[in-house]
Chains A and B, each alone.
Chain A
Amino acid sequence: MKKSVFFGALTAATLTAGLAGAATLDDVKSRGELICGVNTGLVGFAAPDANGNWSGFDVAVCQAVAAAVLGDPSKVKYVPTSGQTRFTALGSGEVDLLARNTTWTFSRDTDLKLQFTATNYYDGQGFMVRKDSGVTSAKELDGASICIQTGTTTELNLADYFKANNMSYQPITVDSNAEGEQQFLAGACDAYTTDASGLAATRAAFANPSDYVILPEIISKEPLAPAVRQGDDQWTDIVRWTVFALIGAEEYGVTSANIDELAKGTDNPEVNRLLGTEGDLGAMIGLDKDWAVKAIKANGNYGEIFAATIGEQTPIGLARGLNAQWTQGGLMYAPPFR
């Protein structure tokens, strides 16, 4: 969630429309490789293992797009970007796609000339406190010292929230998540605040997770979405509909286990159109007929990716919550494939 006003302005000032040129699809195809901007390391979302292989929730988006476009989910070059460099990396054409837990905001969409494709995770900012402090609601945090990462939207959200509720707080600024955990464990602050997904992972990694509680209040909206450059509508459509294909596949019950069976043709016309056995949706975005089949085969549908990287079976243990299908009371809603 890092955001630097200076670099935002810099990006906007120097990024001229059309500089990066259109036809990212042709570039990717001729290169034979998708260049994907990812986080330098965020538990569950993007992390390289001991052999340098990347995996995670954001990484799965890169792999699905690579599979849809190039037919091979492994043809991705991961470019780790920091909070400061991510938008420039995208704007200057260094990366084709930014799948880096980036919040969709008005100014980023318009002023920074990004194109957010489709929200793939609805996050929000929360608080964690020690259980023995007896605090059960964020409303009781008046006068508390709070550990917070500098230069992030979370810092601004925190100020807004306390101002709106007419409370005071003492910020203890830290540079990174690891440092924040260290300060919080050492008792330097009463509460630690960051995105709820990060809080859950942090708490799960503590030596005694049960000594800490995450407060129920979520004080901000953080829709995280893969972003591309403005000015290349075809590429935007490809990334957007690849994400929708993963979400839609879960809704229609298409999984990596049964997709080969379903790709032979089903009674459901919507599934047939998605998987390319009926009509030719792929041609409309410049891809093969079976683009969605390849994308879903990469890591499974949205639900499978969620469960494998950050879901309740993983140590991070995030519930679906807002990220459930709309049919299950969540916000994941893929427009119709027709």
Chain B
Amino acid sequence: MSDTQAHSVAYVRDTMLPQQPAPAGQSGAVQWLRENLFSGWLNTLLTLLGVALIYTLVMHFLPWFLHGVWDANSIKECRTIITDRYGEGATGACWAVIRERWHQFIFGFYPPELYWRPILTFLLLFVAVGPLLFTWVPRVLAWFTPVYPFLAVWLLWGGSGWTPVMIFAGFVLGAAILLLLSPRLGSIMAFSIGAFVAILYFLFVVGPLIGGLQAILPWGLESVDSAKFGGFLLAITLGVGGIMMSLPLGIVLALGRQSDMPLVKGFSVVFIEFIRGVPLITLLFVASLLLNYFLPPGTNFDIILRVMILVTFFAAAYIAEVIRGGLAALPRGQYEAADALGLDYWKAQRLIILPQALKISIPGIVSTFIGMFKDTTLVVFVGLFDPLKGIPDFIRADFNWKGIYWEPFIFVGAIFFILNFAMSRYSMSLERRLQRDNH
């Protein structure tokens, strides 16, 4: 049978052919190019135009970057060096200004011998926020987190070492009263008494106490005036301070807006709508100009603190609305389930509602933070030295660097990009980590 079969056809394959690679035009880079860039006449045209555009831009800017000069002491020297090296008419970047003045971009007028203080503050920031941001950081460090704000303020501005200790003690006092009294009097009453005692302490006790302790046992750091803050030190101080304070305030405002109590709801709505309704610049001018007239003459209310408070209000109003969106996205059943379990309002918020609402709101919250961090450059309008305009403007006032234009923008822009991109990537990783597709 097999014979007849064998003779009835001319050829029978009895082994499998080895697999051949796809033809050159149908695989790898060529295929990818063909499918993605040259799939039709329109795409081909757009691709060619795009390549031409990129080529022009690169050819236009690349020499400028390649001709960059680092070792000069003025823009005139930069120009001479570039002409010497690359011939008449060559253009190039004068990065020498960054080399000579980088410390002013980073620290403003902060005394150079004290640079270790902002640097230490910045490093400790990661220790303080580590336990909040990453699960692999040891939990013990969370004890450092509430101490950090006081330590940071003291490190940056200096002054008596008793000041942060005693102010921290005031918060501990309030918290202790709250914890001791709340089983007996209920949380609202205990909170009111705790806050009242703490405010009395801050108003009347803390000042003389610090003075007395300082007289008995003086210790501290050299004070640094707010006028010496500038550049990224200023931007990061305002940004981090604003972020730290605006998130809790935003959560409270968002809950307040959903509250059944008319007074709380009314206050939250008015606050949010008013702050969102006016531009940030207006608030900054209020901080720097109007407050001076309302306060009694001679009051020394720090300009950075004033600006930070208003930046915080501004960010908090936006965050409140972002979180309200998260709260609204939760199914009604979650609230009812919390009630059914017999949880009181705060427990229900803390254990069931907020964890879910905040998770939903992460992209919006981080966007607000990034926006706020970039908005800190607006403080230039109230005479503070922001890194983008304030610092370059006074550097240009030095005749050696008059005429420098793009280099500071590129340098400062690159640092802003690194910081904001890091925040953005972190928020994406956080979203992935909190992904719970179990409904």
Contacts and interface: CB of A to CB of B under 8 A. Distances in A.
Q: Which of B290, B380, B382, B399 has the most CB of A within 10 A?
A: B399
Q: Which of B101, B298, B394 has the most CB of A within 10 A?
A: B394
A55 to B, nearest CB: 9
Interface stretch (B173-181, B308-316, B385-393): B385-393
A257 interface: no
B297 interface: yes
Contacts of A15: 293
A205 B389 CA distance: 19
Interface string B331-356: 00000000000000000000000000
Contacts of A162: none
B217 to A, nearest CB: 26
Interface stretch (A82-90, A104-112, A290-298): A82-90
A147 to B, nearest CB: 14
Interface in A308-338: 314-316
A286 interface: no
Contacts of A51: 112
A10 B104 contact: no
Contacts, number: 105
A92 B383 CA distance: 15
A7 B227 contact: no
Contact of A50 (B101, B228, B397): B101
Contacts of A207: 79, 403
B139 interface: no
Contacts of B393: 40-41, 176, 178
Contacts of A46: 397
B297 A202 contact: no
Interface string A190-208: 0000000000011011110
B4 to A, nearest CB: 90
A48 interface: yes
Interface residues of B, number: 37
B109 to A, nearest CB: 4
Contacts of B115: none
A44 B392 CA distance: 16
B403 A10 contact: no
Contacts of A21: 297
Nearest to B405: A182
A80 B385 contact: yes
Interface string B78-103: 01000000000000000000001101
B289 interface: yes
B399 A201 contact: yes
Contact of B109 (A10, A52, A84): A52
B61 interface: no
Given A82-B382, A205-B75, A40 B289 contact: no
A81 B105 CA distance: 19
B227 A79 contact: yes
Contacts of A40: 383, 385, 390, 393-394, 397
A81 B383 CA distance: 5
A7 B292 CA distance: 14
B435 to A, nearest CB: 45
A19 B297 contact: yes
Contact of A47 (B228, B390, B394): B394
A88 B399 contact: no
Given A40-B390, A43-B402, A77 B227 contact: yes
A41 to B, nearest CB: 3
B398 interface: yes
Contacts of A137: none
B381 interface: yes
A47 B383 contact: no
B219 interface: no
Contacts of B293: 14-15, 19, 92
Given A40-B383, A40-B385, A40-B394, 15 more contacts: A7-B289, A10-B289, A19-B297, A20-B297, A21-B297, A41-B393, A49-B398, A50-B100, A52-B104, A52-B109, A77-B225, A85-B288, A88-B292, A178-B396, A205-B399
Q: Which 6 A-B pairs have the closest CB atoms?
A: A41-B397, A41-B394, A47-B397, A92-B292, A205-B402, A52-B109
13 contacts: A40-B383, A41-B397, A48-B398, A81-B383, A82-B380, A84-B285, A85-B288, A85-B289, A88-B292, A92-B292, A94-B292, A181-B403, A181-B405
